[in-house]
Amino acid sequence: MDYQAYYGWVYQMSHHWVYQHTFILWLAIKAKLCTQDKLARWFPNKSYTCSLCGKGNDSHDHLFFNCDFACEVWAKVCDIAKIEFQKTTWVVTVENLSKKNNGRNIWAVIRKISVAAAVYHIWKERNNRLFNNCKRSTEEVFGALCEELRGKMTTITVKQSANVCEAEELWNVKFQRKNV
């Protein structure tokens, strides 16, 4: 993992992050989320099936985003955040995103907050299924994710541009305008 590129990516425009999303993203990047594959060492005979798809093993690489359920949510997020969708490993996904030109373009901000939101909401859904016996569809998870990001976006101040108008239309949101 190229941490230098990643740190640059995180710290630039860091005030746009949604705090609780960033925290989970950070743990995911360090592979420190408490996934069940870690328990396999102590309890090798138990099953550690992913609660989202019921097929793969509950691990970082599976959840982000090789799991069928997670991948479906991620594909929707890529679509609305203008991220090039690729089926690859979690490490490569983060490396690709952090190497991408970050600039001050509104889409650079949207890409960042969207990947953090995707990780956060997939992780939350996984926990809800495991511990609260509560199940939502990919559409519901994606809807909640967009709703939360829209709330964040209304606090972002921007200069008028074609990118801004495009983002507003796609996300159905209104950014604040800078007084020039």
Positions touching Zn ion (CB under 5 A) are 50, 52-53, 56, 67
Q: Which is nearer to Zn ion, 22 or 51 (CB)?
A: 51
Q: Which is nearer to Zn ion, 134 or 170 (CB)?
A: 134
**Contact criterion met (CB below 8 Å) for 165 and 100:** no
* Nearest-approach distance from CB 124 to Zn ion, in angstroms: 15
| 101 alpha carbon, distance to own chain's centre | 18
* Nearest-approach distance from CB 121 to Zn ion, in angstroms: 14
Q: Which is nearer to Zn ion, 61 or 148 (CB)?
A: 61
Phi, psi of 161 (to 5 degrees): -160, 170
Q: At 158, is the secondary structure helix, strand, or coil? A: strand
* C-alpha distances in Å from residue 136, one per residue of 35, 118, 125, 142, 164: 20, 15, 7, 10, 31
* Nearest-approach distance from CB 59 to Zn ion, in angstroms: 9
Other beta carbons less than 10 A from residue 55's beta carbon: 11
Q: At 89, is the secondary structure helix, strand, or coil? A: coil
| 1 alpha carbon, distance to own chain's centre | 18
Q: Which is nearer to Zn ion, 14 or 88 (CB)?
A: 88
Sorted by sequence, the CB contacts under 8 Å of residue 161 that are 6+ apart come out as 106
* Nearest-approach distance from CB 52 to Zn ion, in angstroms: 4
Q: Which is nearer to Zn ion, 56 or 60 (CB)?
A: 56
Q: Which is nearer to Zn ion, 64 or 107 (CB)?
A: 64
* Nearest-approach distance from CB 28 to Zn ion, in angstroms: 15
* Nearest-approach distance from CB 55 to Zn ion, in angstroms: 6
Q: For residue 64, what is the DSSP state?
A: I
